[in-house]
Structure 1
Amino acid sequence: MYTHTALATAVALALGSWSSLAAADTQAGQAQSSDAQADGPATGDYLPKVTVTAQKREETAQEIPSAISVLSGDKVRDDALQSANEITRYIPNASAGTTEAHGRPRWWIRGLGTGDQGANTVSPVGIYVDDVYIANISATAFPLFDLERVEVLRGPQGTLWGKNTTGGAINFISRKPTFDPSGYFKIGAGNYNDRVVEGAASDALVDDRLAARVSFHHEARDGYNENIADNDDRGGLEDDAVRLQFLANINDNLQANLNLHARSYHDTAGYSTVSYGLQPNGNNQFGYHIDPKQGKVNFNSKYESDVDQAGTSLNLDWQLGDLTLTSITAFEHFTRDGFSDGDNTPQELQRSYSYADSRQWSQEIRLASAKADRLSWVVGFHYFNEDLHSTGVNAALANPYITPYYNNLSYDQRTESYALFGSSTFHFTDAFSVTAGLRWTRETKDIDLSRLQNSGAANFTGSDWWKTSSVGSALAVNAVQDERNTWSDWTYDLTPEYRLSDNARVYFRYAYGFRSGGYNTGATNQATVATVDPEFLTAYELGLKSEWFDGRLNANAAVFYYDYKDIQLNIVSAVDNQTVSRLANGAKGEVYGGEFEIEAIPVQNLHLTASLGLLHTEFTDYTSGSNDYSGNKFVRAPSVSAVIGADYRIPLAVGGALVLGTDWDTRSRQYFFSNDQSASMRTGGYTLGNARVTYELPGDATHVTLYANNVTDKEYRSHTLPGGYQTAGVMYGDPRTFGVSVTTDF
């Protein structure tokens, strides 16, 4: 196990040795490394160059004057990362929370994010799949399979990535079709009856003209939790997804890629909550008592969710001499049905139901100059349209403790957004360049909201209790909103960069971003109906990127300061014995910190990574009603986050190799809510370790891996909720899991 101090010391020692490393480099060695890195394996003699498209054109990650982390598709596959939010465990100052096993992720980068569960809430961290922006946060949980890489961009990305990306952007990039036969097949099994089958196949349909790639993913497992109310396992899931792509060389200058994908997901209380009383003796209002414990839940009503998702995108790249014209047209349809036991006890107190249906389509057009020019630039246009319908019901059925009630909040929201953007880089000298970007965004949102509640005794009939037709009393409207608002603003960035040597560069980045306004869909009465204004962020970042020891070591560092205003906050509390989440804004805050990342091959076949994130967050002005929360910390913003990992490849005399790997991720204390930061609404610091042993068969085509995640079986909280009737609820992180997988490449 690695402590915060040990990790910080290791990184500091590595950073402190940069000056001595510089003396060891020679110009001849650098030239040799530059040629070799293009194709080299990470466990060979040198680190490979990683090509990314973070600035909407191909370049290496080390050349980009911005804080960016990249996970390769092989890393995702070999480490068995099954859900999208798992990638943040490798990224400093980044985290993701989820209220389902593989669904409804919430993203945070450098303390910026949102925990709001409303289907209409957009995240300050923009999530993209193959360069397509996904607005519905729940739809960003598409499983990870057959990926080329994942790019994580920290800090405001409001110029090229645009829409609402005050916190940063994450882009999941699929492997594209090839004109030569290629693919893989993977099968795995683990405890909790976990089973995974996935694969991909690619080949030419018409030589040099048309290629196709089909990939699929299936995972199923039993639950991590035992429901002691009925002695049944809860938390089981089944996740199926498929992707079909066609790559066409229409002529020598025009290439098209058509992407078709779909997903079907089902879970039974994937992250069900352990409810416990807040009275001094541990009881709730009705004398019910249970000690919160990982692996144990106790509820009596239906607890499950179903997700269906399908989409398509068409990417056209047209080479016009030295210019490249890119068009991306995309459509995405997402639906979710969810049921839960609102009180999380075997007592019949509350039940909840939610439904969301979103349909979005977008169009982006970009024109880019040649990267090698002294002045290079990208200009473009982006259009986005979403139609969203959502229904949320919470109700108390007939029981001896409380009077039955019924609440139904439904709304339709349409979002339409336009943006013009551009970014250019001018090289004043071989050593000094300046990049400047500018974007204008105009976004309009219409909402038609209605909240119904029973006006008499709510006597429910039938199993479809959530339907208005099942309520045995008249319904009255207690909140309505029919509103249309338009917000527009400029976002921009300015980044001077100076090349200290052939292997080291420094940059300073100034960026201004905004997240457009919206509506509070957690209204409980007419007084809580609200329109939320845009939020604004001014960011300053100073960074260093460097490569040493002839391509054996990459060492990067960044320090930053954020001035955050009109922050959109998710305020969660128990109102009338119901957990209520509402959206509000107006607070101010500041963020500062740093990230330090090292990747090295000190000796042949030994690959080391280490990263350290330091973060200070504080609300400098935050009042809600008569309450003053100034001084509180941001949500899911640990002051220390660190990751250290190692892979060692041992060639075998009989052929093949043995690869030993491990990674350890540590996080300090985190708060789950901006308003309530009491001891019951936070998690203490924790460290999670993973280990794996891989046998590479001769020929390096087939790999057999034994793995264990959370090897110490650390018990930690992944989320906590305030509840009614003097209760609170705890969701625990995954326990220790282990298994075996076999992967064959062809």
Structure 2
Amino acid sequence: MSHRFTAIRAAWAGSTMLAAAIGFAAPVTAQDDAVSEDDGQLATIIVTANRREENLQDVAVSADILDAERVALIFSGAGDVTALAGTVPGLNVESSNGRVAPRFYIRGLGNTDFDLAASQPVSVLLDDVVLENVTLKSFPIFDVQRVEVLRGPQGTLFGRNTPAGIVKIDSVKPSHDTSIVSQLSFASLDTVSLNGAFGGSVVQDVLAFRVSAQLQTRGDWIDNDFEDGPNPLGGFTDFAGRAQVLFTPSDRASVLAAVNFRDLAGSSTFFRANILGPGNNNLNANYDRNTVSYDAGGGNNADYQQFGATLTAAYEFDGATLTSITSRWTSKGSSRGDVDGGNLVTGPGFIPFPSDTQDSIDLEQTTQEIRLASNGDGALSWQIGGFYFDSDFDVTTIGFTFPPPVTVNHTNEAWALFGQVSYQLTDTLRATGGLRYTDDEKAFFVRSGAAPQAVSVGDKQFDWDISLFADLSDDAAVYAKVANSFRGPTIQGRDVAFFNPPSVAQSENITSYEVGFKSELADRRVRLNGAVYYYTVEDPQFTAVGGAGNLVQLINANKGEAWGVEFDGAFQISSQFLVTLGVAYNNTEIQDNTLEVGTCAQCTVTDPTRTVAGAFGPVTFAAINGNPFPNAPEWSGDLTARYGIQVGNSGEFFIFTDWTYLGDTNFLLYESREFNAGSRIEGGLKIGFSGDNGQWELAAFARNITDEDNVQGVVDFNNNTAFVNDPRIIGVMFGVKY
């Protein structure tokens, strides 16, 4: 573990003691991001899918919201961003880089590329700033109002690289009301999670601030039974902080300055050799969650530092509001791993040759957005704007015994103009249309360690969408939407380190058709929302990873096709009993009669195959036409239930449980008997007591309460290697809120 956390821990401990002296504050209660309703009714959920606050029931988008209480429960066991997997129907998140570089999938569309330069069709935004690089997407989620998951293309208002959807994170903003919030939890595996926030007024009605932070730690819990390898493994310390200042010189003007910081000293993913099959996808006798057999990897360390600064300024004119968002982010760090998942002496199982690699990144990202949006409640509303994006980063790949280190550089410059118009055609019918023009340019060159191989790509595209929203009654509506969006061209250069040329994928274009309904029934005690969608992707970008040659290569298929159904429900059974249920079915298919990819060395491929002679022996290719998209579960769903019992005038005993489900999933482009997963389920539980009308809370909790062993992903390399989810975490927490 890094020694630089000594000072951080000491300072944080001091601030925690101060908070304790003042009094702890309980976590935010359910639906704190929503507008409260009458007792016993569901709260009105606010979303910002159209870059303005609106009732979820009035927006032509399939969306789901994680409120502050749900977010706190999801991460109570010190989980990382991948803990969001399955918490929203149709959303999957996984990573083969530990607590950094998560891969997001919505409606089955994502990218399995593990390179630090990978692009994804799901965009992550923090306070309206795009976190484009995969390492930035791992920034911890804490002190938030809500997390919005917008399903389907969002290219008009949010830009390229959003054809699958958006995960939009909104932090708690400064207020002139004094606020002190803190929560501390202790759990199994020496897990500690501490977060808190403090804010209030500096100059009443003019200057306010908010400072928040989170510290997550875990002890080493994985034994390495190979005598020459590092031992023990698995611990981490992940610290993140945010400071915000809000300046409101008048009723019309505001300036919000924010800085975000993260320092991670932890572990990369633990690959486990030969734990699948053979001949099936079951975990075999080689699997022991608490043990690995590494002869390399240097402890599977991951060390990252991230910093972001954002300045958001707004001025309200008589008819419109002008908003400017300026941001700069940096990310620097490295992660190393024993990729073969074992050793050549004891295995487990057969390992043809060892692999010990480290990838590092040094990134700078700058964004600028200017937006002018109409004010008022008239029949016509509109917004226009411009956006600029610039990214420059180096990626260094080290094979510690072979090959030599190679550093490559990636740059990406893009700009866009966009607009949206919405018009109330009748009292019950509203039409909305949007258009965005984007110019996207990328370049790649080798800095050191290999022959110069400069590559540049670019594209210019229009994104558009149009929707109709019809109110059937005060409590029910239907909508229809057609949207087009694109993901810019991509360059993959990691294989330069393994004596192969960089690969390029051209832009992919998605056209999506969606119809849905929104309804609130039983005097606003039942909310039922749903959607049916169909989309096609022209030239979908896929990544062929692994194979006998251990390559990472970008490819374009001819076409992809998908259709599905989504349902989100909330049931306020009583004023003390709330149940939510979400379900999604998603059917995806690759359509390309000629596309083949390399296959694994030891698994049982079920696709048609073809074997040819290679430089190091025979090479087998599989035809993937008709296969599902990788990491696209057919079924997904989530269930939550919260029941409270009033105790006295100001206390409450409560039980809160949440469950996620991911169905049959193929992990790779080709199909095999080993590299797929069946049903995966995980549950959480929180039982506690809150007093003084929610000002303090004491609770016991559990994550993965049934201790499921779920395969999260695989390594298509030289053995049937996979990585799994975290074990069961059980702990206690205490929080306060003033």
Task: Classify the TM-score, shorter chain.
Answer: 0.7 to 0.9
Q: Which residue of 2 aligns with 1:736?
A: 728
Q: Which residue of 1 aligns with 2:232?
A: 233
2:410, 2:630 → 1: CA distance?
27
Q: Which amino acid aligns with 1:274?
A: R
Q: Which amino acid aligns with 1:491?
A: D
Q: Which amino acid aligns with 1:199?
A: G
Q: Which residue of 2 aligns with 1:98?
A: 95
Q: Which amino acid aligns with 1:253?
A: R
Q: Which residue of 1 aligns with 2:680?
A: 686
Q: Which amino acid aligns with 2:335?
A: G
1:47 to partner: Cα distance: 1.1
Instruction: State the TM-score, normalizing by the size of structure 2.
Output: 0.87
Q: Could you say what the CA RMSD is over the residues aligned between the two structures, in angstroms?
A: 2.1
1:279 to partner: Cα distance: 10
1:483 to partner: Cα distance: 2.5
Q: Do 1:636 and 1:670's aligned partners in 2 also have CA atoms closer than 8 Å?
A: yes
Q: Which amino acid aligns with 2:568?
A: E
Q: Which amino acid aligns with 1:111?
A: G
Q: Deviations over 1:152-203 (max 9, x none)?
A: 1000000001131010011111100111101301111000000011100011
User: Among residues 419, 423, 435, which one is paired with 2:420 in the alignment?
Assistant: 423
Q: Do 2:96 and 2:114's aligned partners in 1 also have CA atoms closer than 8 Å?
A: no
Q: Do 1:522 and 1:583's aligned partners in 2 also have CA atoms closer than 8 Å?
A: no
Instruction: State the TM-score, normalizing by the size of structure 1.
Output: 0.86
User: More deviation in 437-446 or 334-343?
Assistant: 334-343
1:680 to partner: Cα distance: 1.8
Q: Deviations over 1:50-96 (max 9, x none)?
A: 22221011111221111011111232124435422323332001110
Q: Which residue of 1 aligns with 2:698?
A: 704
User: Among residues 455, 459, 476, which one is paired with 1:504 in the alignment?
Assistant: 476
Q: Which residue of 2 aligns with 1:368?
A: 373
Matches within 5 A, 1:385-404: 385-395=390-400, 397=401
Q: Which runs of 5+ in 2 are unaligned?
A: 1-33, 345-352, 598-620
1:276 paired to 2:274 = yes
1:260, 1:64 → 2: CA distance?
31
1:60, 1:352 → 2: CA distance?
48
1:587 paired to 2:558 = yes
User: More deviation in 677-686 or 214-223?
Assistant: 677-686
Q: Which residue of 2 aligns with 1:659?
A: 654
2:291, 2:149 → 1: CA distance?
35
1:382 paired to 2:354 = no
SS at match of 1:113: coil
1:253 paired to 2:260 = no
Q: Which residue of 2 aligns with 1:542?
A: 515
Q: Which residue of 1 aligns with 2:329?
A: 332
2:275, 2:658 → 1: CA distance?
37
Q: Deviations over 1:440-467 (max 9, x none)?
A: 0001112113684xxxxxxxxxxxxxxx
Q: Which residue of 2 aligns with 1:532?
A: 505
SS at match of 2:494: coil
SS at match of 1:136: coil
User: More deviation in 605-614 or 677-686?
Assistant: 677-686
Q: Which residue of 2 aligns with 1:521?
A: 493
Q: Which residue of 2 aligns with 1:494?
A: 466
1:290 to partner: Cα distance: 7.5
1:293 paired to 2:288 = yes
Q: Which runs of 5+ in 1 are unaligned?
A: 1-36, 283-288, 398-404, 453-476
1:557 paired to 2:530 = yes
SS at match of 2:116: coil
Q: Which residue of 1 aligns with 2:28?
A: none
User: Among residues 513, 520, 545, which one is paired with 1:572 in the alignment?
Assistant: 545
Matches within 5 A, 1:666-685: 666-675=661-670, 677-685=671-679
1:239 to partner: Cα distance: 0.3
1:436 paired to 2:433 = yes
Count of residue pairs brought into register by the alignment: 663
Q: Which amino acid aligns with 2:272?
A: V
1:102 to partner: Cα distance: 2.5
2:663, 2:339 → 1: CA distance?
30
Structure 1's 366 and 654: CA in aligned 2 closer, same or farther, altered over 3 A?
A: closer
Q: Do 2:650 and 2:692's aligned partners in 1 also have CA atoms closer than 8 Å?
A: yes
Q: Which residue of 1 aligns with 2:4?
A: none
Q: Deviations over 1:123-161 (max 9, x none)?
A: 100110100011111211111211011111000000001
Structure 1's 602 and 483: CA in aligned 2 closer, same or farther, altered over 3 A?
A: same
Q: Do 1:328 and 1:363's aligned partners in 2 also have CA atoms closer than 8 Å?
A: yes
Q: Deviations over 1:354-409 (max 9, x none)?
A: 111110000000001125121101111000001111111224x4xxxxxxx42433
Q: Which residue of 2 aligns with 1:352?
A: 357
2:137, 2:426 → 1: CA distance?
42
Structure 1's 540 and 146: CA in aligned 2 closer, same or farther, altered over 3 A?
A: same
User: Among residues 157, 172, 177, which one is paired with 2:174 in the alignment?
Assistant: 177
Q: Which residue of 1 aligns with 2:70?
A: 75
1:310, 1:516 → 2: CA distance?
26
Q: Which amino acid aligns with 1:358?
A: L
Q: Deviations over 1:291-319 (max 9, x none)?
A: 12322211022011101000100011110
1:593, 1:152 → 2: CA distance?
17
Q: Which residue of 1 aligns with 2:108?
A: 111
Q: Which amino acid aligns with 1:334?
A: S
1:264 to partner: Cα distance: 0.2
1:527 to partner: Cα distance: 6.2
Q: Hey, which bits of structure 1, 4+ residues long, moved more than 4 A? A: 277-282, 524-528
1:195 paired to 2:201 = no
1:513 to partner: Cα distance: 0.8
Q: Which residue of 1 aligns with 2:707?
A: 713
Q: Deviations over 1:615-673 (max 9, x none)?
A: 11111216036642101111111111121211001001374111111122222111111
